[in-house]
Amino acid sequence: MRTTGVTLDHAAALYDWLAPLMTLGLESRLHRHVVDRLNLDRPMAVLDVGCGTGSLTRLIADRMPPGKGRTLGIDAAEKMIEVARRKAGSRRVTFEAALAEELPCASGSFDRVVSTFFFHHLDENLKKRAVDEIHRVLRPGGRAVILDVDVPYNLFGSLCAHAGYVLFRQPEIMENIQGKLRSVFAASRFAGRWSLVSRHSGYITLFELVRDSQETKSGDIA
Binding residues vs ligand SAM (CB under 6 A): 3, 5-8, 19, 50-52, 55-56, 75-77, 80, 99-101, 116-118, 121
Q: Which CB sits closer to ligand SAM, 7 or 205?
A: 7
Q: Which CB sits closer to ligand SAM, 19 or 93?
A: 19
**Nearest-approach distance from CB 191 to ligand SAM, in angstroms:** 23
**Nearest-approach distance from CB 80 to ligand SAM, in angstroms:** 5
**Nearest-approach distance from CB 72 to ligand SAM, in angstroms:** 13
Q: Which CB sits closer to ligand SAM, 26 or 212?
A: 26
Q: Please give the backbone phi and psi of residue 54, each rounded to the nearest 5 degrees, phi first.
A: 85, 20
Q: Where are the alpha helices (DSSP H) in the chain?
A: 15-22, 27-37, 55-63, 78-87, 124-137, 155-168, 171-177, 180-187
In this structure, are residues 50 and 81 in contact, taking their beta carbons and an 8 Å threshold?
Answer: no
Q: Which CB sits closer to ligand SAM, 40 or 74?
A: 74
Among residues 132, 139, 145, 108, which one has the least CA distance to residue 191? 132
3-state secondary structure of 45: strand
Torsion of CA 181, 27, 154, 146, to 10 degrees: 20
What span, in angstroms and rounded, lies between the C-alpha atoms of 94 and 80? Answer: 13
Q: Which CB sits closer to ligand SAM, 51 or 161?
A: 51
DSSP designation for 154? S
By Cβ distance, which residue is nearest to ligand SAM?
A: 5
Q: Which CB sits closer to ligand SAM, 99 or 181?
A: 99
Buried b (16+ CB within 10 A) or exposed e, 107-120: bbbbbbbbbbbbbb
